[in-house]
Amino acid sequence: MSKSVARLGIGGPVGSGKTALLESIVPRLIKKGIEVAVVTNDLLTTEDADRLKRGGFLASERIIGVETGSCPHTAIREDPTMNLLAVKDLEMLYPQLDIIFIESGGDNLASTFSYDLIDSYIFVLDVGAGDDIPRKKGPGFLQADLVVINKIDIAPYVGADLDLIRQEAPLHRRGKPIAYTNCKTGEGLDEVIDFIFKTVLFRHSSVS
């Protein structure tokens, strides 16, 4: 299915830092002249969309909160109709868009996106979930185009061995990229921005 604007999914468990990642990278992309819009997914509220609007770095009209009202992965994989409609609205309102982010509702390690909805997706995990997370080999972790292991700052406080994560995660990812981030300080975000330019925006512009 051909898409007129690049679409990047942001998936991962509840609280791993998906919205925080958007809050960190969207202003950086805007500074580089990229035209951005965002769709967020929550079960019964538009909490994340409202939070991004309060952030003030993106015009409120460029942010749509989808209320999925069901299992979050249904709305990004089995039946992405609601998200596709939100994407279509944004594309019609802003024909100049370069990229639309679609943040999934917080889900589990099995959560993946339909490629009818997105071109690529990032799976966000945080070290607070434990240093055994890479070994659990969830499909989201294994298949995502980029894995972001976030909250590296809290590793010492939750007894997670970051060196072990850095050692084991690449073995299971088999060469696919991983970024280690701290959304509070910006550490590691250059790798995420690089991925977006090289893999998402470049690939999209070279095929469209």
C-alpha distance across the termini of the chain, in Å: 12
| In the complex, least distance from residue 174 CB atom to ligand GDP, rounded to whole angstroms | 25
162 touches ligand GDP by CB under 6 A: no
104 touches Mg ion by CB under 5 A: no
18 vs 151 by CB, closer to Mg ion: 18
182 touches ligand GDP by CB under 6 A: yes
18 vs 62 by CB, closer to ligand GDP: 18
Which of 14, 59, 93, 158: binder of ligand GDP (CB under 6 A)? 14
153 touches ligand GDP by CB under 6 A: yes
138 touches ligand GDP by CB under 6 A: no
| In the complex, least distance from residue 63 CB atom to Mg ion, rounded to whole angstroms | 12
Shortest Cβ contact with Mg ion: which residue?
19
Q: Which stretch binds Mg ion (CB under 5 A): 44-52, 77-85, 184-192, 193-201?
A: 44-52
Cβ-proximal residues to 106 (8 Å cutoff; 6+ apart), any chain: 12, 13, 14, 15, 16, 18, 72
The residue assigned the tokens 């409120």 is 60
- Are β-strands 63-67 and 6-11 bridged in parallel, bridged antiparallel, or unpaired? unpaired
29 vs 52 by CB, closer to Mg ion: 52
Identify which of 178, 179, 197, 200 has the alpha carbon closest to the alpha carbon of residue 28: 197
Q: Interaction with ligand GDP in 20-79: which residues (CB under 6 A)?
A: 20
Residue 15 annotated as lining a ligand binding site: yes
Rounded Cα–Cα distance for residues 42 and 40 (Å): 7
Which of 184, 186, 197, 202: binder of ligand GDP (CB under 6 A)? 184
Cβ-proximal residues to 180 (8 Å cutoff; 6+ apart), any chain: 148, 149, 152, 162, 166, 187, 188
Dihedral, 20, 21, 25, 30 alpha carbons, nearest 10: -60
48 vs 107 by CB, closer to Mg ion: 48
Q: Which stretch binds ligand GDP (CB under 6 A): 14-22, 94-102, 159-167, 169-177?
A: 14-22
Alpha-carbon 134 to chain mean position: 18
Of the CA atoms within 13 Å of residue 111, those in its CB half-sphere come to 25
The answer to whether the beta carbons of residues 53 and 41 sit under 8 Å apart is no
Residues at the binding site for GTP are 12-19
What residues line the site for ligand GDP (CB under 6 A)? 12, 14-20, 106, 150-151, 153-154, 182-184
